[in-house]
């Protein structure tokens, strides 16, 4: 099994790599199109800002590589947002796999949302054996609303998507690599897809 | 269900060991940081903070190595800080696997650093640590591990830091730190209400009731404590159950 973590100068690549290592998986960290294309599973991590991350992906020519992948892909946090159509963060056009817009939280609560929140209404194999309302670690200022591709929900001021799926593409708004046992179960489920 | 209040054990590290000082002085060795951190993660710590309080460059190198070891072994988020001076210091620690870095004196000396760190790494991983002390009824910030009076009002400093793109405030009351007599409720409430970013309260935790009072009477997002956990005076599971029973939303 060849698991590739896409390397495009964002923050949490090592965290994802170490989390997989704790599951006994030695992932490959790469920005090489041929390595990514030949992977069994691809993880698109992401901590940082949407415009900077998109620029970095495009500069490496990885935008087209990612959208054409046919094997399971998991976008994490900003990685999930980049798989959407557009982000309000610096008005950034994104990859467009999920036909949704990424919006900024507005209202009375503190932004970023930082900490542990529950994920609910879990659908599909990514959440196999995971308890409904399991806690996951979130750090984000932007979100994707509920839609037909939502496979998990959460609430911070409003109900929104904790996870999305379209065909072979999965996205999670939280950080499974930092979410203790419930998080590593999700990574394990992704590896086993 | 909603976002939970976070409980954060803090490990002061010097020469590879966890230590604890009272009123920012008198260090006592508490144990091995990795073993302690793992245990806290298992017991339900929501995050961990590791502060490097080493005096020498040689010990600082040990710390970067330790950070990498922590990142390999710990499956919850952790922040590292202590003596961070520059963008390259931050880069080393984030590359080693820290989720967030906390910065204190260097930002006071050069506030522009906060803007630069935000630009380069994003606000979510930049925590501003603030050591505050009350003088004649006004809270001021102190630099250099609480030793140097800056003349800057705490409220002015955190406001400025927020607009520079800091992601979170770690607010320590020097007056309360190590006393085990409860948190600086008034200060914490004032600062939390003035901020639109999360605030971690630190200094003064002595028992579960102090945490309950903190969350019931202020708008803060997290509580940090050290010796109370290290000494075994209060276990994380007991604390969290007690908070839950008092209708404070925590992760169990």
- Side-chain half-sphere exposure of A58, counting CA atoms within 13 A: 11
The H or E element that residue A160 is part of is: strand A158-166
- The H or E element containing residue A28 is strand A28-30
User: Is A88 in contact with A103 (CB distance < 8 Å)?
Assistant: yes
Query: Which residues, at least 6 apart from A106, have a Cβ–Cβ distance to it below 8 Å?
Result: none
Q: String of b and e for B60-81 (b: at least 16 CB within 10 Å)?
A: eebbbebbbbbbbebbbbbbbb
In terms of CA atoms, which chain A residue is nearest residue B193?
A: A110
Q: Which residue has the tokens 């004196």?
A: B105
Higher pLDDT, B20 or B116: B116
What integer best gives the mean pLDDT of chain A?
95
- Determine the Cα–Cα distance for residues A155 and B141; give it in Å rounded to an integer: 36
Q: How confident is the model at residue B16 (pLDDT cuts 50, 70, 90)?
A: confident
Please report the domains of chain A, with CATH numbers, ordered by start residue. Answer: 3-191 (3.40.50.880)
Q: What is the mean pLDDT of residues B47-76?
A: 87
pLDDT above 90 for B146: no
B185 or B60, higher pLDDT: B185
Neighbour count for residue B35 (Cβ, 10 Å): 11
State whether B71 and A18 contact (CB < 8 Å): yes
- CA distances to A147, A149, B10 from A169, rounded to whole Å, are 15, 10, 38
Nearest to A137 among B77, B97, B121 (CB): B77
The count of other CB atoms within 10 Å of the CB of residue B34 is 17
Q: Where are the beta strands (DSSP E) in chain B?
A: 6-14, 17-22, 25-31, 48-52, 78-81, 100-103, 126-135, 138-143, 148-153, 168-173, 199-202, 222-225
- Per-residue pLDDT at A159: 97
The arithmetic mean of pLDDT across residues B50-78, rounded, is 87
Cα separation, B120 vs B231, whole angstroms: 39
List C-alpha distances in Å: B242 to A135, B48, B103, B179, B245. 19, 20, 32, 22, 5
For residue A132, the chain B residue with the least C-alpha distance is: B1
Distance CA A91, CA A79 (A): 16
List the 104-163 stretch of A: residues with Cβ below 8 A of B. 110-118, 120, 133, 135, 137-141, 155-156
Enumerate domains of chain B plus CATH numbers: 6-245 (3.20.20.70)
Cα separation, A101 vs A118, in Å, equals 22
Report B:152-211 residues touching A (Cβ under 8 A). Answer: 167-168, 195-198
How long, in residues, is chain B?
Answer: 252
Place of tokens 């290592």: A21
Residue B97 touches chain A, beta carbons under 8 Å: yes
Query: Quick check: B22 pLDDT over 60?
Result: no
Nearest Cα residue in chain A from B117? A48
State how far the Cα of B157 lies from the Cα of A23, in Å rounded to an integer: 43
Q: For strands A169-172 and A73-76, give the pairing.
A: parallel
Residue of A77, A94, A100, A140 marked active site? A77
Interface membership of B251 toward A (CB under 8 Å): yes
- For residue A122, the distance in angstroms to the closest alpha carbon of chain B comes to 15
Contact A93/B at CB under 8 A? no
Q: Is A89 a catalytic residue?
A: no
- Tokens representing A108 are 């009375």
Pairing of strands B126-135, B138-143: antiparallel
Per-residue tokens: A51: 């415009």
pLDDT of A101 reads 97
Q: Looking at beta carbons, which residues of chain B come within 8 Å of A11?
A: 94, 121-122, 125
Q: Give the pLDDT of residue B28.
A: 77
Look at B2 and A184 and tell me if their CB atoms are within 8 Å: no
- What's the ipTM? 0.93
* Residue A140 appears among annotated catalytic residues: no
Query: In terms of Cα–Cα distance, which of B96, B101, B95 is closest to B49?
Result: B101
Closest residue by Cα to residue B210 from B169, B243, B249, B252: B243
pLDDT at B69 over 90: yes
Q: Rounded mean pLDDT of B107-121?
A: 93
pLDDT over 70, % of chain B = 96
Give the per-residue pLDDT at A12.
76
Peptide bond into A112 cis (omega under 30): yes
Rounded distance, CA A22 to CA A26, Å? 9
Residue B136 annotated to the active site = no
- Tokens encoding B39: 């245990």
Question: Which SS3 state, helix, strand or coil, does residue B130 take?
Answer: strand
pLDDT of residue B26: 65
Q: Cα–Cα–Cα angle for B213, B23, B217, nearest 5°? A: 15
For residue B22, the distance in angstroms to the closest alpha carbon of chain A comes to 29
Q: Given an 8 Å threshold on Cβ–Cβ distance, is A12 in contact with B99?
A: yes
Which three-class secondary structure state does DSSP give residue B129? Answer: strand
pLDDT tens, residue order, chain A (193 aa)? 999 999 987 777 889 999 999 999 999 999 999 999 999 999 999 888 899 899 999 999 999 999 999 999 999 999 999 999 999 999 999 999 999 999 999 988 899 999 999 999 999 999 999 999 999 999 999 999 999 999 999 999 899 999 999 999 999 999 999 999 999 999 999 999 9
Confidence at residue B21, expressed as pLDDT on a 0 to 100 scale: 61
pLDDT digits (tens, 9 = 90+) for B173-191: 999 998 999 999 999 999 9
Determine the residue of chain B that is closest to A184 in CA distance. B75
Helices and strands: H and E segment counts in chain A: 6, 13
How far apart (Å, rounded) are the C-alpha atoms in residues B203 and A73?
44
Helix, strand, coil tally for chain B in percent (to 5): 40, 30, 30
Inter-chain CB proximity A118 and B1 less than 8 Å: yes
């Amino acid at each position: 099994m060849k698991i590739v973590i896409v390397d495009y100068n964002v923050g949490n690549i090592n965290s994802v790599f170490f989390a997989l290592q704790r599951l006994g998986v030695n992932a490959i960290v790469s920005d090489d199109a041929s390595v990514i294309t030949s992977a069994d599973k691809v993880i698109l991590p992401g901590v940082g800002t949407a415009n900077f991350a998109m620029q970095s992906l495009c500069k490496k020519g990885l935008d087209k590589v990612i959208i054409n992948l046919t094997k399971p892909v998991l976008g994490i946090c900003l990685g999930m947002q980049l798989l959407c159509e557009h982000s309000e963060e610096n008005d950034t056009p994104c990859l467009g796999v999920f036909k949704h817009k990424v919006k900024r939280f507005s209202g009375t609560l503190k932004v970023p949302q930082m900490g542990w929140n529950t994920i609910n209404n879990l659908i599909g194999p990514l959440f196999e054996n995971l308890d409904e309302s399991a806690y996951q670690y979130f750090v984000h200022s932007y979100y994707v609303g509920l839609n037909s591709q939502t496979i998990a929900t959460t609430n911070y001021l409003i109900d929104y998507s904790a996870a999305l799926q379209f065909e072979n593409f999965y996205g999670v708004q939280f950080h499974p690599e930092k979410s203790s046992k419930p998080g590593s179960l999700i990574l394990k489920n992704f590896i086993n897809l | 269900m909603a976002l939970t209040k976070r409980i954060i054990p803090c490990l002061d590290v010097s020469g590879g060991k966890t230590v604890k000082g009272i009123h920012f002085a008198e260090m006592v060795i508490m144990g091995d940081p990795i073993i302690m951190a793992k245990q806290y993660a298992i017991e339900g710590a929501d995050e961990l903070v590791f502060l490097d309080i080493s005096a020498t460059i040689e010990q600082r190198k040990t710390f970067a190595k330790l950070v990498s070891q922590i990142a390999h072994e710990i499956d919850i988020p952790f922040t590292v800080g202590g003596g961070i001076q520059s963008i390259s210091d931050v880069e080393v620690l984030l590359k080693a696997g820290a989720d967030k870095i906390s910065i204190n004196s260097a930002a006071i000396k050069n506030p522009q650093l906060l803007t630069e760190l935000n630009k380069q790494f994003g606000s979510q991983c930049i925590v501003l640590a603030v050591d505050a002390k009350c003088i004649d009824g006004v809270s001021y910030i102190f630099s250099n591990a609480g030793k140097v009076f800056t003349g800057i009002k705490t409220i002015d400093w955190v406001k400025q830091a927020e607009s520079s793109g800091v992601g979170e405030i770690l607010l320590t009351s020097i007056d309360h730190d190590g006393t085990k007599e409860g948190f600086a409720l008034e200060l914490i409430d004032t600062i939390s209400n003035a901020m639109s970013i999360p605030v971690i309260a630190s200094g003064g935790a002595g028992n579960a009731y102090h945490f309950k009072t903190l969350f019931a009477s202020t708008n803060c997002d997290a509580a940090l404590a050290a010796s109370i956990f290290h000494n075994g005076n209060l276990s994380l599971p007991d604390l969290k159950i007690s908070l839950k029973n008092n209708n404070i939303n925590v992760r169990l």
